[in-house]
Structure 1
Amino acid sequence: MVVVTFVAGAATGVGALPVFFRTDVSHRTYDAALGLAAGVMVAASVFGLILPGMEEGSLAVVVAGVFAGGGFLLVANRLIPHFHAQYRGLVGEGGVDEEASLTPTIRRAMLVGAAITMHNAPEGLAIGVGYASGLEEVALVLAIVIAIQNVPDGFAFAAGVAAGAMLAVVFREMVPSSHGHGYADAATAAFLVGFAVIVVVDTVVVL
């Protein structure tokens, strides 16, 4: 169980490794990377969360979860700027105030982190409980955690919440940011590539 859980968690961290090797990326590369990540997150939300949630519960419950998760992230987007007081007054090279560029970047990173956390929490819980109990009724534990009595709907709601959070971050932060430097075409192309990759991977795994 420990090995499988470690691998599942490490897979998320691998995507951050390029940051440690190169930080001076061009706007084109940055926008394309955002587009790629956005495509992956949208496809993962649809094929990895919403559709499986609909198989386990009702459409209404999944939709309710999507609105709950998206609403939570939109509210968080309004509140997070209040946490940035310690970053104000930073001055970069040449005496340029970095607050204008730093604050949106930090907020975007926090929102993406929150969305991924909400996405990975049910999966991590499912892995742990599944291996510990040897049973397939993982939805029961998920339902207890989120205080819902109906087991399938509990899983469906949790999946919807995670999907809604990820979609809110993608369309509220990542897509607009990827189109802000004049490289919208590169960002859009990368978005399609990311989406297609997840579709192919999902198809191969199912087969």
Structure 2
Amino acid sequence: MVEKLEAWALAMGPVRSALLATVFTWLMTALGASIVFFFKTIKRSVFDTMLGFTGGVMIAASFWSLLTPSLNFAEEIYPGYHWAPVAGGFLLGGLFIFTLDKLLPHLHINFSKSEIEGIPTKWHKSTLLVLAITLHNIPEGLAIGMLFGSAALDLDATTLTAAIALTIGIGIQNLPEGMAVSMPLRRQGLGRLKSFWFGQLSAMVEPVAGVIGAIAVIYMKNILPYALSFAAGAMIYVVVEEVIPETQRDKYTDLAVLGFMVGFTLMMILDVAL
């Protein structure tokens, strides 16, 4: 199966492969959001477990799919000081999301309207929730696009298999992300169709980010270590600043941690076994 996907990706080319891969992750978000057509509420214990799972996948992907290849590439491109571009890119990725976090009005899941972050606004709560999850999806799309782009450079440090594994992992964790937007909106009284629309809308940025990431590394090979570590830094910032705190606001913190460990293990297996 993996061999067929690799052959298909080679035939499609890196940019189109990145686009289709991130469209797949977007559709997985839509699939998760579609649960509002069948349920109006979801138990908080299940919700926190799924959020923990999401965080585990993102942390594991940051290390195995992004930072490890970044270090390997840096050894080839910048021998002698390969740690510098990786460290710099990692910090820049976190700073990028930090800046967006301070500027873009958004509201984390399960937070009250008084806890809005970013520039003060009178936007509707549903819009703010979508923008919060959109912050998750920017680094995810970039990471997938950058891996497909780096595979096209025919370097040993990464392969199409790694890009495919990351796509599968991000797609799986996008299921609860879609639910994380649509279910709270449904619980607040929005209709099923509107709740679904907002749920899938949060991932529409992934194909855009994926294409940008693929094009950037194809045409600027020397930025590859910076680019991959940048995506890792952005993802880790999102997990530590947003995902983990959201799982610690109720009494199901132990289930959230178990979900985190399962997500981490699954992404590790995908990266190593494939």
Bin the TM-score by the shorter chain: 0.7 to 0.9
What's the offset of the Cα at 1:73? 0.3
Contact in 2 for aligned 1:118/1:165 (Cα 8 Å): no
| Change beyond 3 A, Cα 1:106–1:172 | same
1:121 to 120, 129, 145: 145
Residues 1-207 of structure 1 mapped to structure 2, 5 A cutoff: 1-2=11-12, 5=17, 8-16=21-29, 17-22=31-36, 24-57=41-74, 58-81=82-105, 85=121, 87-88=123-124, 99=125, 102=126, 105-126=129-150, 130=152, 136=154, 142=217, 144-145=219-220, 151=221, 153-205=222-274
Specify the SS of the correspondent of 1:181: coil
Instruction: Give the superposed CA RMSD.
Output: 2.9
Give the whole-Å Cα distance in 2 for the aligned partners of 1:43 and 1:163: 10
Give the whole-Å Cα distance in 1 for the aligned partners of 2:119 and 2:130: 10
Relative to the length of structure 1, the TM-score reads 0.75
What's the offset of the Cα at 1:18? 2.0
Specify the SS of the correspondent of 1:85: coil
Give the whole-Å Cα distance in 2 for the aligned partners of 1:32 and 1:45: 20
Match of 1:95 in 2: none
| Change beyond 3 A, Cα 1:15–1:36 | farther
User: Can you give the 5+ residue segments of structure 2 that lack an aligned partner in the other structure?
Assistant: 1-10, 75-81, 106-117, 159-213
Which amino acid is 1:117 matched to? G
Give the whole-Å Cα distance in 1 for the aligned partners of 2:255 and 2:104: 29
Specify the SS of the correspondent of 2:104: helix
User: Can you give the 5+ residue segments of structure 1 that lack an aligned partner in the other structure?
Assistant: 89-98, 146-150
The runs of 4+ residues in structure 1 deviating greater than 6 Å are 138-141
Which amino acid is 1:8 matched to? A
Relative to the length of structure 2, the TM-score reads 0.58
Which amino acid is 2:97 matched to? L
Which amino acid is 1:120 matched to? I
Give the whole-Å Cα distance in 2 for the aligned partners of 1:141 and 1:50: 17
Give the whole-Å Cα distance in 1 for the aligned partners of 2:265 and 2:50: 15
Contact in 1 for aligned 2:150/2:218 (Cα 8 Å): no
What's the offset of the Cα at 1:85? 3.3
| Change beyond 3 A, Cα 1:174–1:84 | same
